[in-house]
Amino acid sequence: MSDPVLTIRGLRRSYKSGDKVLTVLNGVDLYVRPGEIVGLIGPSGSGKSSLLHAAGLLEHPDAGQIIVEGRDCSDLSDRQRTRVRLATIGFVYQAHHLLAEFTALDNVALPQMIAGRSRKAARARALDLLSNLGLRERVDHQPAQMSGGEQQRVAIARALANGPRLLLADEPTGNLDPHTSTAVFDSLYALARSEGVAALVATHNLELAKHMDRVLALKDGHLEAQKL
C-alpha cells in the first residue's frame, strides 16, 4: 500500500476562554492514503474544524505530529508551513469564498497563475476542471450569477487547481439543500478520485458519509472508526 499523504499522531488542541480551558482534541491519530476519501463526523462543537485547520497547517497544535507526505511539519516555521500548504493542500469550506468580481474560470485560474503557471495553461486546466464538474456553460459567470451548488463546485475546482496531494473539506455541502448536497458531493468524490488525492471530508450528513471509503467519528477529543 502507498504511504499516507497525511499522518497525525497524538494531536492535542485546547482553547482558553477566560480562566477555563476547553480541550477539544485530546490525542487524535489518523492517516489518509493517496486516492482515499475519508469522512470525518461528529456533532457540532466536537472539533472537526479544529482538526482540519491543524491538518491544513493553518494552526499550531499544542502537541502532536502532523506529517504531510512523509515530512513532519510540527516544528516548521510559519513560512515553511505556508510553502508546504500551497504546494500540497487544497481546501473547501462550507462557504465558497470565491472572488465576487471574477468569473468562475478566473477563480480557478488565478491560484494557478499565483503558483507560476502561464495564463493560457491555467485557463485550460480551469476549463477542464469546471467541465468535469458540469460547469462548462457557467465558466464566464460570476459567483452571484450561479446557484449555491454551482458556486460550491467552483470552490472544489479551485481547491484542486494546483494539483494538491491532500484535499481538506469542512462541511462542503453544509449550506446546500439535500438534493444539491448529494449532487455536489458526488462531483467532489468523482473528481477527488480521478485526481488521485487523499481527501478528508467533514460532514454532518451520514447519508453522504456512507459513500466514503472510511468514516472516522470525533468523540471526546478522540477519533474512532465508525461503521455506517
The contacts of residue 120 (CB under 8 Å, 6+ apart) are: none
Is-contact 61 96, C-beta < 8 A?
A: no
Applying CB under 6 A, which of residues 26, 49, 65, 142 lies at the interface with ligand ADP? 49
Q: Is 17 in the site for ligand ADP (CB under 6 A)?
A: yes
Nearest distance in Å: CB 14, ligand ADP: 9
Compute how many other C-beta atoms are within 10 angstroms of the C-beta atom of residue 24.
Answer: 18
Q: Is 24 in the site for ligand ADP (CB under 6 A)?
A: yes
Compute how many other C-beta atoms are within 10 angstroms of the C-beta atom of residue 219.
Answer: 14
Nearer to ligand ADP, 22 or 114 (CB): 22
The footprint of ligand ADP on this chain (CB under 6 A) covers a number of residues equal to 12
Q: CB under 5 to 8 A by kind: which of Mg ion, ligand ADP, none does 153 bind?
A: none
The contacts of residue 45 (CB under 8 Å, 6+ apart) are: none
Q: Is 217 in the site for ligand ADP (CB under 6 A)?
A: no
CA dihedral in degrees (211, 217, 218, 222; nearest 10)? Answer: -130
Applying CB under 5 A, which of residues 14, 23, 26, 49 lies at the interface with Mg ion? 49
Residues that bind ligand ADP (CB under 6 A): 15, 17, 22, 24, 42, 44-50
